Structure 1
Amino acid sequence: MSILSTQQILDAGLGDWRKLAQALHARFLTRDFTTGLALVSAIGELAEDANHHPDISLTYPHVDVKLLSHDASGVTQRDVDLARRISNLAAERGITSDPAAPAVVELALDTADVAGIGPFWAALLTGDASAVDGDDVADPTGRVPLLWFQHTDAHETPRQRFHLDVWLPHDAADARIAAAVAAGGTVVDDAEAPSFTVLADAEGNRACVCTILER
């Protein structure tokens, strides 16, 4: 099954769901644990019926759901179909969503030597020095954020080597950027917005607010 484009995902009209770095994400406001547990159980039945299984996180006030076709390494039509079924299920139970809530944080590290430092970071973060896939260190159990290596020329001049990528819903990013600026930050570079906008704190430490648009 082929990976859907950003426009195809947007055209699907999934009001509860937002595509972030790799997957579809939704937060359902169950407001109590019992309601959340019942929703998780019902989603599990849908997943078994579809033979397609989301990642689900249950907390007291909400249920977070993530959909990704791992065999295709992206969002496919079966993710969209299951997302729509999950939304209908939640609506039938009177459970609303918060489409602005989902967020994914990734770590980015500038390096001219992925092969030299990749195994170290893989071992440190996952316990497995071989857990390097191309430019990524990914923990299959989801304990730590994905770390990706940003290629750069070798250099000796001190500079920031790490930065955070904060993936947000495309229709929530501007408000988050404004909040960060109001809290003392600055916009360093918005030439690639809305794909990503580079922000800095008062000491110059940088982070990128990322969306799926124009990628």
Structure 2
Amino acid sequence: MADLLSADEVTSALADLDGWSGDTSAISRTLTAPSFPAAIRLVVEVAEAAEDADHHPDIDIRWRTVTFTLSTHSEGGVTGKDISLARRIDELAEAHAATNP
């Protein structure tokens, strides 16, 4: 089990995450990839990282635009697992030249 983060903890974490927003219920980031295939490659790599972490984001794909939403559903909100996966998504986005819209 993971502990829910307080509003202050979520706000502090979001300050260190580029392009992420949200509250104690969920955090999200929308990225634009250079092409549709690049967006799909990013999603595949995030899926692999999520599987390794046993923590899975909600993913919305619209052409080159991908939105990742993170929440620890079993706990009812944002936990450290979500912040860790957000950091990993940021690393993968940078590697794929995906940017904030």
- TM-score for the superposition, normalised by structure 2: 0.89
> 1 or 2 for the larger relative contact order (CA 8 Å, sep ≥6)?
2
2:55 corresponds to which residue?
52
* Paired amino acid for 2:66: V
1:69 corresponds to which residue?
72
Q: Which residues in structure 2 correspond to 1:55-204 (within 5 Å)? A: 55-98=58-101
Change (3 A) 1:82 1:4: same
1:135 corresponds to which residue?
none
* Paired amino acid for 1:27: T
Change (3 A) 1:42 1:87: same
* Paired amino acid for 1:78: K
Alpha-carbon offset, residue 31 of structure 1: 4.3
CA contact (8 A) 2:59 2:66 kept: yes
CA contact (8 A) 2:39 2:66 kept: yes
Q: Specify the structure having the higher radius of gyration (Cα).
A: 1
1:10 corresponds to which residue?
11
Alpha-carbon offset, residue 61 of structure 1: 2.6
In structure 1, the gaps of 5 or more residues are 99-215
Alpha-carbon offset, residue 10 of structure 1: 2.0
Alpha-carbon offset, residue 20 of structure 1: 4.5
* Residues 7-66 of structure 1: CA deviation (Å, up to 9, x unaligned): 212212112211157211110111421111111101000001100000101111300111
Q: Percent identity?
A: 35
Which has the larger share of strand?
Answer: 1
Local SS of the residue matching 1:52: coil
Whole-Å separation in 2 of the counterparts to 1:62 and 1:86:
14
Local SS of the residue matching 1:46: helix
In structure 2, the gaps of 5 or more residues are none
Q: Which runs of 4+ in 1 moved over 3 A?
A: none
CA contact (8 A) 1:16 1:87 kept: no
CA contact (8 A) 2:72 2:78 kept: yes
Whole-Å separation in 2 of the counterparts to 1:65 and 1:2:
21
Aligned-residue Cα RMSD (Å) equals: 1.4
* Paired amino acid for 1:88: E
* Residues 63-108 of structure 1: CA deviation (Å, up to 9, x unaligned): 011100011000000000000010011012221124xxxxxxxxxx
